Chain A
């Protein structure tokens, strides 16, 4: 219990650090949202309009950084992340609320799938090392070095253009209205197939390599030899004794690679014009929409923190040693 409370405290602290970082990046670095809005409308804005924009973005008043920081927190707690001007005049929170479910579903399913497949394959590879299966290692190695977005490009070129099997952009059929109908869900799944394939393929290699190395290290432990010597069925030794202990570093590493996978997922969405957070981030970067960029960073960080917390709790359940340490 003490372990979990400590971890909870850490995540609260990290959340605070992320919000503060977010605040100071916008405050300290140069850049003016109104100026880029003026550029966007190519001088078509009148002086009055510019002045009212300054009021709207709160740039007209001279306040101290500390006051701004408090106001920022106040707004944040009310779910007010400012106004997007890539999607002017929609509030940032509304833009995020619309795109978040797409990313969460895609990212969650693919991350879990990649982790499960990669870990299972790693168990097999580590157990049967020295066979032809070792030839898979260089392949996995190559895949782990490929950027997600390029794999996405290749997927589009192969299965979207050369063999037009799957749609190459969007999250659902243009003629449909998002709802929980069978038709819409089917269309959404169909559109998610290629991005999902990309993310799973790109992330699976890392898990395979990590798990394989841990299996090699663990399977020379005495307790595995004893289990084998007792004449337990091979499957039981493999999963119940070796893999069970070898998977622990993978689970604690889950937290660390999650940030990387999330980054890759965002870029994959950009490639596929998938209507998730990543595509919103792309739009925000294109139109220099700072408040939207910050909103995306914040929501992504929070999602990663929650997922990390879940991985930590799973770790505590699986490894009694962490619970004892306290």
Chain B
């Protein structure tokens, strides 16, 4: 598959695979029990504690390793749920048209405009005990609208294409047109929407844990930052407490955006060609300006000079 040949997408996938593996085997490879209180309080990174300890002597590396699972699982569940909702709403509304389309796109536009994080905070805050699954469901319910909007636009433009008209003229049933003619052409958009939602879900979940809205007894990267903030790690200069957790979040986010860039370049040939052209032009020392017709001034002007 050519997505693998795209360097950005490949780098993203490798980085993501690393975190997925950690999420799966985390509980077994963590050097300590992340909640275990130890005698070494607020130690800088050392051989015994690779990323140092908290003020109660808990091992931070273990907290990060064990916490990976929570982050990944919530991101994945929220991503899958939101993608299902957005495919159902987006494709139906693009395919149906008419009043059904009006109503469905009105609903998704409302969800797009309402700021998601405050909404998630009040829902989770009102719920008496919010575990990982609840959070994932709430995030999915507030984060599906963007994907639905993009899918609707694409379905709308596919619906009038010749191959769909031909299928309809052939008397193919509606479900067959939907699943075998239209859906395969939406794969890239569905995938990129899924990845976008996973990023959104991970950022939201970590933020919720950092504010302390969710349960602080299960470990995830946000919980680590919550304890760092509430134990004055910043003032005490305990950088090892809050820097690695943030880097982990940024690394997962970057890996997912890289994959999405790969998909973007896969779908939009102009972006793909630019990436390929840029390398070629750089080698020939040509500055790309407009479109695919680079202006090579040096060469032309000397030729003109000779002619004159």
- A→B interface (CB under 8 Å): 10-11, 13-14, 17-18, 21-22, 25-26, 29-31, 127-131, 134, 141-142, 144-147, 149-150, 153-154, 156-157, 160-162, 168, 213, 216-217, 219-221, 224-225, 228, 234, 237, 255-256, 258-260, 262-264, 266-267, 270-271, 281-282, 284-286, 288, 290, 293-294, 296-297, 300-301, 304-305, 308
Contact = CB atoms under 8 A, between A and B. Distances in A.
Given A141-B258, A146-B249, A161-B234, 11 more contacts: A130-B278, A130-B287, A149-B225, A216-B274, A228-B290, A237-B290, A260-B115, A285-B125, A290-B125, A290-B126, A297-B121
Contacts of A154: 242-243, 246
A252 B181 CA distance: 30
A300 B212 CA distance: 20
B127 interface: yes
Contacts of B234: 153, 156-157, 160-161, 168
Contact of B293 (A130, A225, A300, A308): A225
Given A130-B288, A146-B253, A219-B291, A161 B235 contact: yes
A220 B291 contact: yes
A42 B115 CA distance: 35
Contacts of A308: 113
Contact of B288 (A18, A129, A217, A296): A129
Contacts of B125: 284-285, 288, 290, 293
Interface in B228-274: 228-229, 234-235, 237, 239, 242-243, 245-246, 249-254, 256-258, 261, 264, 268, 270-271, 274
A38 to B, nearest CB: 15
A66 B206 CA distance: 37
> Chain B contact residues (Cβ within 8 angstroms of A): what range?
35 or more
Nearest to A127: B289
B21 interface: no
Contact of B207 (A17, A147, A153): A147
B122 A146 contact: no
28 contacts: A10-B109, A13-B110, A30-B126, A31-B128, A129-B278, A130-B277, A130-B287, A130-B288, A134-B278, A145-B251, A145-B252, A145-B254, A153-B234, A154-B246, A157-B239, A225-B291, A259-B113, A259-B116, A260-B117, A262-B117, A270-B211, A281-B118, A290-B125, A290-B126, A293-B122, A293-B126, A294-B122, A308-B113
B199 interface: yes
A29 B110 CA distance: 21
For the complex of A and B, 3 pairs with smallest distance between CB atoms: A145-B253, A263-B117, A220-B291
A294 to B, nearest CB: 6
Contacts, number: 197
- Of A21, A129, A153, A290, most buried by chain B (CB within 10 Å of CB) is A153
B101 to A, nearest CB: 15
Given A31-B127, A225-B291, A281-B121, A149 B114 contact: no
Given A30-B128, A150-B249, A259-B113, A297 B291 contact: no
Contacts of A293: 121-122, 125-126
Interface string B111-145: 01111111101110111100000000000000000
Given A142-B250, A267-B210, A301-B118, A153 B278 contact: no
A128 B288 CA distance: 7
A266 B118 contact: yes
Contact of A267 (B117, B127, B246, B277): B117
A220 B294 CA distance: 11
A160 B235 CA distance: 9
Given A30-B127, A285-B121, A304 B113 contact: yes
A217 to B, nearest CB: 5
Nearest to B282: A130
A219 B47 CA distance: 54
B123 A29 contact: yes
Contacts of A127: 289
B250 A263 contact: no
Contact of B126 (A21, A25, A213): A25
- Of B121, B207, B258, B290, most buried by chain A (CB within 10 Å of CB) is B290
A29 B127 contact: yes
- Of B122, B211, B243, most buried by chain A (CB within 10 Å of CB) is B122
B292 interface: yes
- Of A149, A266, A270, most buried by chain B (CB within 10 Å of CB) is A149
Nearest to A157: B234
Nearest to B243: A154
- Of B114, B128, B235, B256, most buried by chain A (CB within 10 Å of CB) is B114
A288 to B, nearest CB: 7
Contacts of A130: 274, 277-279, 281-282, 287-288
Interface string B153-197: 000000000000000000000000000000000000000000000
